[in-house]
Amino acid sequence: MPIHLIRHAGTGRELAAIEAPTYARAVEWALRRGMSLMDAAMAGCDLRGAFLAGADLRYAVMVGCDLRGAYLRRASLFGADLREARLSDAILPGADLRLAGLRDADLSRADLRHASLVGADLRGSILVNAKLDGAILDWRWSDVPIEVLRRLRHGSAYTPAIARLALAGDERPWAWLETLRTCGGALGVLSRFVRPGDNAPAELRRYAGGRA
């Protein structure tokens, strides 16, 4: 079987050399033995379907990593660089994604229930049909309000607003507020998803009233 090297992203030093049929199995082996993968260099790695529950992946460099269907329940991805990563159908309930770089990442159908995304860069990310129940969201960029409005039972009423948000882009944090102020009821609807500890703007939090 091939030997897979796991290296430190900053220094390049070898963290582990593991004999396994695939890189994904090597990472699983390391985690089963209590190894931390903090700051690991894993860009472009194939971790499809890997069992990574509770993994310490803080600040790991995982740009373009394929994590489709990976099991990451309660994993710590604090500050991890996941730009352009493929996380569709990934299992991430309770995961710590605070300050993670998720720009242009695919999170479609990912299970993000009760995950924390505060401070995560979600610009250009795909959240279509992701499970967001109980998640502590990052409200700076338009991807979150777009997806929340899109999946509402009567979401078609907000189709024009969603289209305007998509075209406007994210030139600065919370710029989407300017568009939704003129869409009757949109901010009130979004306020239902405000949670204690998130970074919802004060205007949205006022709609939430005593709920957050």
Q: Is 160 exposed, middle or buried (0-12, 13-18, 19+ CB in 10 A)?
A: exposed
Give CA–CA dist 5/70, Å, rounded.
Answer: 20
Confidence of residue 179 (pLDDT cuts 50, 70, 90): confident
20: tokens are: 């396994």
Average pLDDT over residues 70-99: 98
Give CA–CA dist 64/80, Å, rounded.
Answer: 12
Give CA–CA dist 145/174, Å, rounded.
Answer: 10
CATH of domain 1-138: 2.160.20.80
**CA dihedral of 127, 130, 136, 140, whole degrees rounded to 10:** 10
Contact of 122 with 102, CB cutoff 8 Å: yes
Confidence of residue 192 (pLDDT cuts 50, 70, 90): confident
Q: Identify the pLDDT of residue 212.
A: 54
- What is the pTM for the complete model shown? 0.91
Give CA–CA dist 189/173, Å, rounded.
Answer: 20
Q: Identify the pLDDT of residue 155.
A: 59
Least confident of 3-12, 44-53, 138-147, 169-178: 169-178
- CA-CA-CA-CA torsion sign (212, 56, 92, 168): positive
pLDDT tens for residues 132-170? Answer: 999 999 999 999 999 988 887 665 777 888 888 888 778
Domain coordinates in residue numbering, the chain? 1-138, 139-212
pLDDT tens for residues 89-136? Answer: 999 999 999 999 999 999 999 999 999 999 999 999 999 999 999 999
